[in-house]
Amino acid sequence: MPVTAKLSKLFYERLGEQIANELVDWFNQVDATYRSDLRELNELNFARFDAKLEQRLAELDAKWGSRWSRLDAKLEQRLAQLDAKIDQSVAAVRGEIQTGLARQKVELTRQMFTFWLGTILPLGGLMVTLHLVLG
């Protein structure tokens, strides 16, 4: 908001109306010129600041993009390692379960033969005895 310069009555009385008005007009023109120059300078400075800010933001974006890419690659690598470890663990557990089941199968088969032998031998002896007695 421009400020209009005014001079005291003493200036008007000593210099005269015309010269005092010219002096006031000159002050106002100088003020307007300085304001215009200051506005242009501020706009140029802001434009430079804005350009630098854009450049720095682009650099920061590139830097963070690079970091995120490296982090993503590292995460993918670690997940692959974890997946391999899980696969190994599952394979080991599966092998232990198969071994345990094979042992149980052998043990069950042995117990089954023991049971059947324990049943067939006395039954065979009974049959021989009956055959001899009835025979």
Segment 39-53, tens digit of pLDDT: 999 999 999 999 999
Rounded to whole angstroms, how far apart are CA atoms 24 and 18? 10
Q: What is the pLDDT of residue 66?
A: 94
What tokens were used for 132?
Answer: 């001899």
| Residue with the two structure tokens 């049943």 | 119
Residue 118 DSSP class: H
CB 11 within 8 A of CB 30: no
Residue 117's Cα: distance from chain center in Å? Answer: 69
Q: How far is CA 103 from each of CA 2, 44, 88, 96, 100, rounded to the nearest angstrom?
A: 102, 87, 22, 10, 5
Strand, coil or helix: 1: coil
Q: What is the pLDDT of residue 6?
A: 63
Q: What is the pLDDT of residue 25?
A: 87
Better-predicted residue by pLDDT, 133 or 74? 74
Better-predicted residue by pLDDT, 7 or 92? 92
Out of 5-14, 34-43, 87-96, least confident range: 5-14
Taking residues 74-84, what's their average pLDDT? 97
Q: What is the pLDDT of residue 12?
A: 79
Its pTM stands at 0.46
Residue 135 DSSP class: -
Q: Which residues contact 1 (CB under 8 A, 6 or more apart)?
A: none
pLDDT at 4 over 70: no
What tokens were used for 22?
Answer: 């010219």
| Confidence at 131, pLDDT banded by 50, 70, 90 | confident
Rounded to whole angstroms, how far apart are CA atoms 47 and 41? 10
